Amino acid sequence: MDFSALNPVSLMVSLIIAATPILLAAVGELVVEKSGVLNLGVEGMMIIGAIAGFAISVETGNPWIGMLAAMFAGAILALIFGFMTQFLMSNQVATGLALTLFGLGMAALLGQSYTGMKPPSTPHLNIPVLSDLPVVGSILFSHDPMIYMSIALVTGVWYFLNRTRGGLVLRAVGENHDAAHSLGYNVVLIRMGAIAFGGACAGLGGAYLSLVRVPQWTEGMTAGAGWIALAIVVFASWKPWRLILGAYLFGGVTILQLNLQALGIGISAAYLSMTPYLITIIVMVIISADRRRASMNAPASLGRIFHASH
Amino acid sequence: MKFTTTLAAAAALALGLGGSAIAQTKAGFIYVGPVGDLGWSYEHDQGRQAVVEAFGDAVETTYVESVPEGADAERVMTQMALGGADIIFTTSFGYMDPTLNVAAKFPNVKFEHATGYKRADNVSTYSARFYEGRHVIGLIAGRMTESNTVGYIASFPIPEVVRGINAAYLAAKSVNPDVQFKVVWVYTWFDPGKEADAANALIEQGADVIMQHTDSPAAMTIAEEKGIFAFGQASDMMQFGPTARLSSIIDNWGPYYVERVKAVMDGTWASVDTWDGIAPGMVEIGEFSDRIPADVQAEAQAASDAIAAGTLHPFTGPINKQDGSVWLAAGETADDGTLAGMNFYVEGVEGELPN
């Protein structure tokens, strides 16, 4: 077997591109869950972001305006969920699932006239000297800016949750909404903010898929990426840094197995294609081996309806 | 997904029940992907629309898209049958056992299962001889590749897909002895992200022509972006790769669907096994790109004509299996039974066939 044909640099680049949509959606959902809300509508918000980002990019010729539009569209959809669950006290699981269905249908409708179109290309970073460095240059300094944005976003979320007062309040709301309420914090408002942020992130992840990873619009193109993002939040046991690990591991194994197949390695393709899921399961088993610690990480009020009793 | 299909089915049934009381023939269609995939499911829906066009108000059609293969499919079929469907087209290989199960419960409903091999008194099977199309585009691929490496994105290791790989490889090999096929199995019919990743992996490994047996145009988009060649699959896909697309294999289900629905209306429907190719028009070869040299275009057209005329069979011996054992002696052609159950690579295809 000639492994020299396997170029680690381009593997890394494809890995990062495959992992970024999931990472973006997952970091948003992490904040939502930290505030004590379970929004299962990630898939729906992603696909709305995918079509909104695609359509606006095509209309304006500017992918950045498209991505902003995708964030906006994702946030609007999320706020519908927020209104139903926070003000009308609807069940979060059912509402989240409905949001996914609504998003998929709505995106298909909006996207009808956009199939077969070509989006404007997203420029890649080109820093003199740095981008031209061998190996390191292509792995670290020559992506489209969204990749760096996603890492910065994870860093920002980590900083916000663990190092700021606002983050502390958000976590308090997620751990015990009654206590937070009695301290005078506006639980519903804080949660609405988190939900909108989650929607914007999911929308951006969707736009990354339709503008960079595949570049095209096809109905149902997220094909379950939102569900993987949800799984990765649990995988990361609600810790932002582990999201990067989870997303890149999943993306990496997916890309690696495709490349190994193309290389003609003597392992059956059936086993290779199983590996991303298998490794995810194994890591989850390891992480949850200590059950007490694992359950401590989950926000205590996750998915519970908050009703302010006067 | 589960909920999508259930809801969609419920909606379809609600619409169906709300229709007029005139004795209408009801035809149901179940698709594995969205009708907007611009590939496999899209073409089946074009077939459904041909039925609508042919019979107007005399036939009522309903469809449910993105139905996962397995238990969900069985539920959707059952709901369609309960909703009064007279004939149900189940359009993916993985619907085979669910179709048989539901058909056993509804002996008066006719079922048409695409690409399968199990039949019953009320279950017909139909498929197209896509391998004839694969032969034609395989010839083009063999002529057009400069790196002598053709990348092939395969979905599931079922006879249908294996047959396509073998047919394309043999044709490419016949015009280019140095050609090599790299096959990547993605284990999905529709996942644009993964299909794009697979195309990138193949290009990375030196492929300069991509063929696919998956349903979305993602690979075509990547081929266009990377400046290599690709072929439209199931539908033409021209708009996704104006320069990359060399030709395409187009599925044309309309005439068959019209014929079968007509048979139900006339009461002449019987369980049959249909396997049509280029000659009756179930498989169409898309227009050749200008980038294909005139002599190669002529060669491909000649092959297509010869297949249609019955003078050329894509599987004509001598052909050995991958392990070197003899499959077809010189001049011998493959019989339909072996083709329908094909579970081996021919000699020269690299890699192990997953089972």
What's the pLDDT at A266?
64
Return left, alpha or beta for A92; rule: phi > 0 is left, psi -120 to 50 is alpha, else beta. alpha
Nearest chain A residue to B66, by CA: A220
**pLDDT tens digits, one per residue of B218-239:** 999 999 989 999 999 988 888 8
What's the pLDDT at A4?
65
Regarding whether B124 and B136 lie in a shared domain, the answer is no
C-alpha distances in Å from residue A165, one per residue of A162, A172, A204, B226, B292: 8, 10, 26, 48, 65
Q: Which of A58, A218, A227, A259 should one mutate to test binding to chain B, selecting the residue with the greatest count of B CBs within 10 A? A: A218
Please count the CA atoms within 13 angstroms of the CA of A267 that sit on its side-chain side. Answer: 13
- Set of chain B residues whose Cβ sits within 8 Å of the Cβ of A23: none
Kindly state whether residue B260 falls inside one of the protein's structural domains. no
For the sheet containing B283-285, what is the strand order? B180-185, B149-154, B209-212, B229-234, B245-251, B283-285
**How far is residue B17's CA from residue B27's CA, in Å, rounded to a whole number?**
13
Regarding whether B90 and B62 lie in a shared domain, the answer is yes
**pLDDT tens digits, one per residue of A219-261:** 888 888 999 999 889 888 899 999 998 899 888 888 888 888 8
**How far is residue B199's CA from residue B192's CA, in Å, rounded to a whole number?**
10
**pLDDT tens digits, one per residue of B255-314:** 999 999 999 999 999 999 999 999 999 999 999 999 999 999 999 999 999 999 999 999
- Written as one string, the DSSP assignment of B321-348 is BTTS-EEE-TT-B--HHHHHT--SPBTT
Regarding whether B329 and B198 lie in a shared domain, the answer is yes
Task: Report CB contact under 8 Å: B204, A216.
Answer: no
Last residue of a domain, one of B128, B151, B186: B128
Best CA proximity match to B314, nearest among B166, B212, B149: B166
Last residue of a domain, one of B128, B143, B173: B128
**How far is residue B173's CA from residue A235's CA, in Å, rounded to a whole number?**
47
Interchain contact A10–B (C-beta under 8 A): yes
Domain with B92 in it: what CATH number? 3.40.50.2300
Regarding whether B221 and B96 lie in a shared domain, the answer is no
Regarding whether B135 and B70 lie in a shared domain, the answer is no
**Residue B156, min C-alpha distance to chain A (Å):** 9
- Set of chain B residues whose Cβ sits within 8 Å of the Cβ of A97: 3
**How far is residue B237's CA from residue A221's CA, in Å, rounded to a whole number?**
16
> Which ranges of chain B have pLDDT less than 70?
1-23
Regarding whether B44 and B18 lie in a shared domain, the answer is yes
Task: Report CB contact under 8 Å: B350, A264.
Answer: yes
**pLDDT tens digits, one per residue of A154-189:** 999 999 999 999 999 999 999 999 999 999 999 999
Task: Report CB contact under 8 Å: A21, B193.
Answer: yes
Count: domains in chain B: 2
Regarding whether B217 and B146 lie in a shared domain, the answer is yes
Query: At residue A66, does pLDDT exceed 50?
Result: yes
Regarding whether B103 and B39 lie in a shared domain, the answer is yes
Return left, alpha or beta for B66; rule: phi > 0 is left, psi -120 to 50 is alpha, else beta. left
Q: Which of A37-41, A116-120, B68-72, B247-251 is least confident? A: A116-120
Please list, in sequence order, all residues whose beta carbon lies within 8 angstroms of the beta carbon of residue B18, skipping any fewer than 6 positions away.
none
Exposed, middle or buried, B281 (CB in 10 Å: 0-12/13-18/19+)? middle
Per-domain boundaries in chain A: 20-234
Regarding whether B107 and B47 lie in a shared domain, the answer is yes
Regarding whether B135 and B116 lie in a shared domain, the answer is no
- Written as one string, the DSSP assignment of A214-248 is S-S--TTTTTTHHHHHHHHHHHTTT-HHHHHHHHH
Regarding whether B292 and B175 lie in a shared domain, the answer is yes
Task: Report CB contact under 8 Å: B204, A7.
Answer: yes
Best CA proximity match to B46, nearest among B228, B282, B207: B282
Cis peptide before A276 (omega within 30 of 0): no
Kindly state whether residue B190 falls inside one of the protein's structural domains. yes
**How far is residue B308's CA from residue B280's CA, in Å, rounded to a whole number?**
8
Regarding whether B188 and B92 lie in a shared domain, the answer is no
Interchain contact A302–B (C-beta under 8 A): no
What's the pLDDT at B20?
43
Interchain contact A220–B (C-beta under 8 A): yes
**pLDDT tens digits, one per residue of A6-28:** 777 888 888 888 999 999 999 99
Please give the residue range of the domain that contains residue B225.
130-250+284-340
How many helices (H) and strands (E) are present in chain B, helices listed first?
11, 14
Average pLDDT, chain A: 87
B305 phi and psi angles, rounded to 5 deg: -65, -40
Kindly state whether residue B32 falls inside one of the protein's structural domains. yes
Last residue of a domain, one of B102, B128, B154: B128
Kindly state whether residue B255 falls inside one of the protein's structural domains. no
